[in-house]
Structure 1
Amino acid sequence: MQAVTQFSVRVVQRYLPSAFVLAVILTAIVFVLGIVLGERTPLDMAQYWGEGFSSLFKFGMQMVLVLLTGYVLALTPVMQRLLGALTRQASTPRQALAITIVVSFVCYYLNWGFGMVAGAILAREMGRRVAVHFPLIVAAAYGGELVRGPSTSIPLVIATPGHFMEDAIGIVPVSETLYASWNIALTLALLALLVAFFMLQKQPEQIVRLEAADPAEEAPAQRGDGSFSDWLEHSRLPTLFLGLLAAAYLLGEVAKGDFSINLNTVILIFFTLGLLLHRSAAAYLGAVEKAVGAARGIIVQFPLYAGIAGMMTHADLVTQFSEAIISMASRETFPLWTFLSAGAVNFFIPSGGGQWAIQGPIMMKAAYALGADPARTIMAFTWGDGWTNQIQPFWALPLLGVAGLSARDIMGYLLIWLVISGVAIAGTFVALATFT
């Protein structure tokens, strides 16, 4: 296994382009497929790309904010001490890997945005304090991203009255999807496999280390000329007022029973805690300045994937691919084929909600026609949507921004983890079809 993994790492390091260039290559592939398979003109494809380009602006801004606010929170003195206490529990590379994997996996399970930032920051701190190969521990922190937890959008949508497919499939409760006994068992099995895979990896002879913490990160902002404006900048009052205002809103939502964990509330929680835990407005803005650079990949690349999604949708490429998969499936094998097809489409449309809106109705209509179990089909789609995130730099961009690495640094490990996790997930659906 170690030999296979190291071979994968070498190949990826040598041949995988940057995340930006990969997005351009995927754009070109879909452009050609739309002309050849979709029978569209080049001008049509350019039109579809342009129409899709802006469709992820809102989501892209959410991703920038979850990264920025999480990063700023991590730079507060309190969080630095907490991270230090956690990293001091690890004295060996294997201990560092185990702690990072378990903590990030649990955070991903609760909310993928929270897990993305928490896992990246923990991996960074472990890399500074423990002699562990830094790309390895960053890949380990990202490996848990595939987990499907209580904030996973597709099963929640299907369980909500009034969803857009209710007339066709009705309401499917989360007790049959996310909280089905087989799905919980699969989740625990994946955690065990993830820990085992990365802890068995042998560190290279020349490990990549992260530099020790920059004292400037934790140092308070220096005062200026002593004027009133300077005093105000270095006072707790502005950030304390705004932080308490945000906290009052969150507590009010909890009291009313309207609070739920989603991307917006994660951002607001990070924002609130960052304001309350930094010493002043100047300190807060200094942390923001450090965090902004980590978001550059998101800002540039999310619109490119939105353009790809526009071409895939309007050229009917998703429909053609889904129908080809359906033609090969039977009642027993349909969830398995759904998992594989969702994973393939996800590589080009890495947005779960967007992919479900396009591909979901087609797959669910076929599930009912074949008599396949709807809950298992939904979870097969959901797992497939998360599975190929392991080799899709789109979702790794926030983590890579915090870590300061490129996609090629971690994808060699994740390519092998993709195969292992894929066998485990696919095997689960085969077993369900065989024994139940």
Structure 2
Amino acid sequence: MSESVVKVGVLGCGNVGAALVQLIEERGDEIAARTGIRLEVAKVAVRSLTRKRPIHLDESVLTREAAEVVADPDIDVVVEAIGGIEPARELILAALGSGKPVVTANKELLANHGAELFKAASAGEVDLLFEAAVAGGIPILRPLRESLVGEDVRRIMGIVNGTTNFILTRMSEEGTSYAAALTEAQQLGYAERDPTADVEGYDAGAKAAILASIAFGAKVVAGDVYHEGISNISATDIGFAARLGYVIKLLAVAELVSVEGDGPDEVAVRVHPAMVPVSHPLAGVRDSFNAVFVEGAAVGDLMFYGRGAGGAPTGSAVLGDLVDAAVNLRKGTHADLLALTRRPIRPIDELRSSYYVNLDVVDRPGVLRAVAEAFERHGVSIRSLEQEGVGEHARLIFITHRAREADVQGTLDDLRGLDVIHDITSVLRVVGDDQDLT
């Protein structure tokens, strides 16, 4: 098979960019043998020309001018690995506008400006591929866009942030405190010095927006996603969850919710910690691994599992997209992105779930009655109740039947006004057989 050379311009040479270059070097011969295409890294845009890197790059390949890489007529395909919104957005639009396919792993950009980029790719009739943007090395977007395009996918529920999953695993399995688990995650390189994006759910929220957009053909941006993080999860919560047969996971959930009448289905997208039954496949996802659970009407339940972060896994996904883009380029074709339509976003107050509520109360007659009346006033039905401790500080632990978020919040407001309640220690949504998040 005769080889066709495709010249690649890489924007950024951090963990992902460097891993991609190394994989091209290691896998280039095999890729050429299987596809007839020889990938050649022709230019790499970097911030510093003198910085030490884990890979060797000839000085003639390096440049500090990312725009020149995009504009270079010899560059066939552009890989964006610099992250952030700008200048990544402008560079990608410029590449697409000049007829060059683009591969990116930029979840922040796609979650905020995906529709604009998709439109530019369609107008230029070139590829815009981004498999690595959601779950690192786990192939999930291509199956949703291609293999499951004819499936009635109603819900996607996943663990898409390795940092928080590592922290919760340490807390669950070793009794580590949140602060100690976070410190360990930072020492191992799983968490940034400022971990806010991870632990408060913003990283997972961007990924949830992308998943919803691809799965439902809907214009969903990061601002549409409701966020709760894990920074308030305590060892007490972990212990109660285990005793009740659950583990706590930070979940990204995207689903279509039917509405009464002839109105279109609404999209509900959110990120929050939840109690997951130990029997559920997501409960066994440990450490920094990720998993995405897809529920379809005909296909049933599917789970995609693997390493969701790290240079090598993410670089592998980028390389897969790059090979696809190169093959399509040489064939004179491209992968069509599904058209996105605006669907109503269902507010969090209208969603329904079962809830775990942990109250620190005074142990005296009438307390349980006052608490139960607060639940009853808002139509929130109690499924189970446990009491621990005696004296000034006792604990009431409730799990409710499915209830509307607004009604639960109203109940909590009433409970805060009771003088017999010291504190609402924690409130968590519960995933279960008949009380799934909907």
**The two structures share one fold, judged by TM-score above 0.5:** no
Q: Which has the higher helix share?
A: 1
Length-normalised TM-score, structure 2: 0.20
Give the structure with the higher percent strand: 2
Structure of greater relative contact order (alpha carbons < 8 Å, 6+ residues apart): 1
Q: Give 1 or 2 for the bigger CA radius of gyration.
A: 2
Structure 1 length-normalised TM: 0.20
